Amino acid sequence: MSKDRVYLDYNATTPLDPQVIEAVTEALEGAWGNPSSSHGAGQKAKHMIDKARKHLADMVGALTSDIIFTSGGTEANNLVLHSALKYFHQESDKADGRIGLPHFITSNLEHDSIKLVLQHFEEEKLAEVTNVPASKKTGRVEIDDVISAIRPSTCLITVMTANNETGVIQPISEISERVRCLGRQKGDFPRILLHTDAAQAIGKIPVDIKTLGVDYLTIVGHKFYGPRIGALCVRKPGKATPLYPSLFGGGQERSFRPGTENTPMIAGLGKAAELVVQDLERYEKHMREIREYLERKLKEEFGEGVTFNGRFEKSCRIPNTCNVSFLGRGLEGHRILSKCTRLQASIGAACHAQNRPSPILLAIGIPESVARNALRLSVGRETSRDDINVIVTDLKEVIQSLRSD
């Protein structure tokens, strides 16, 4: 990080940990062989990939055979949604197609790699979709609302583990338990598959696929100090859980995701996962302390002129995320950021336009005038109290200037 700037956009992306850089460099220099080759150079690369797969499995409480490497979270999410669609139609054929169109349940908080795929399914009349609205009292989807949305044709429920803008943790394990209690997980048609995109949770709170009770879990490396690739964790893929490839080629990743493996990036992802296993408790404690210090300093400095979005009495947040609005006309988030000389942050998801109110904040009941003024401040493992002091001063100067314009 530049000494002149303070980066508080870790929910958008994280830098590579030095040990991750070392692992990537080692693979680039010494494991350049094709992992499918039987000679020494190829087997060295294969060994690195196997080692990385084991670290990812340990991180999320899975078997090594449950881990499928992908280009990132978007591909992993697409793979799940298209697999659920194909699985439904295969099972529907066995039932003479009497069930109708497949039905997906999701929330109105999801990343575009879920939301836009399901919109496409609807537009092409491939599926029906229920978007369960988040509660304005808790900032999360309510379990009863999800269960009430289930139909005979429901094939997949997908809800993110934690929201990328508010940090609110969603009740995934409780949803999974209620679905299992319906008695439709085995034997009956259709089976309801369960997926969670854990991009924002991994590296910040414990994430275990068995505890969450899901069939699929999305892993995104660049959210926990790894490289910009990802993985999909699938419980016994192709056996206990349906998974169908969207690419066809040389048979890598057991043909679920063919293509010659990117050994250096996979090695880096494995190292990032290993660090999470070793040091999660320390990471979580540090980020929570810094986030609490940030919110305390903002409240001390701005008093009633600041409000925190996403802090709900009955909901928990991931430990690094603060969504804050500075109240008053002319204090739109994008205007504040454009004038900050030290703070690097965002008003919401990095892949969304940065000059409009966040749909996520509007969805949880934040008034538009407040949502327009929002900043998402997400701290990292190395963020210090001194950094917080610097950005609070920066914000104070900018807001005073904007109020006097």
CA–CA separation, 85 and 274 (whole Å): 34
Instruction: Please work out, in degrees rounded to the nearest 5, the angle formed at the alpha carbon of residue 44 by the alpha carbons of 277 and 239.
Output: 60
CA–CA separation, 344 and 387 (whole Å): 11
Whole-angstrom CA distances from 184 to 75, 143, 155, 395 are 28, 17, 11, 53
**Per this entry, what is the length of the chain?**
405
Number of CB atoms found within 10 A of residue 260's CB: 12
Q: Which of 155, 233, 322, 351 is catalytic?
A: 351
Comparing CA positions, the residue from 319, 316, 318, 298 lying closest to residue 307 is 298
CA–CA separation, 190 and 203 (whole Å): 34
Q: Which residues pair with 131 in a beta bridge?
A: 106
Calculate the CA 2 to chain-centre distance.
26
Per-residue tokens: 394: 């920066």
Adjacency order of strands within the sheet including 154-158:
67-70, 230-234, 216-220, 193-197, 154-158, 103-107, 128-132
**Any residues with CB less than 8 A from the CB of 377 and at least 6 apart, and which?**
8, 294, 321, 322, 323, 324, 345, 391
Active site residue 316: no
E strands, 60-206, where? 67-70, 103-107, 128-132, 154-158, 193-197
Comparing CA positions, the residue from 202, 205, 382, 207 lying closest to residue 290 is 382
State the residue for tokens 């590296």. 203
Name the DSSP letter for residue 317: B
Per-residue tokens: 157: 């429920």
Name the residues annotated as catalytic. Answer: 351
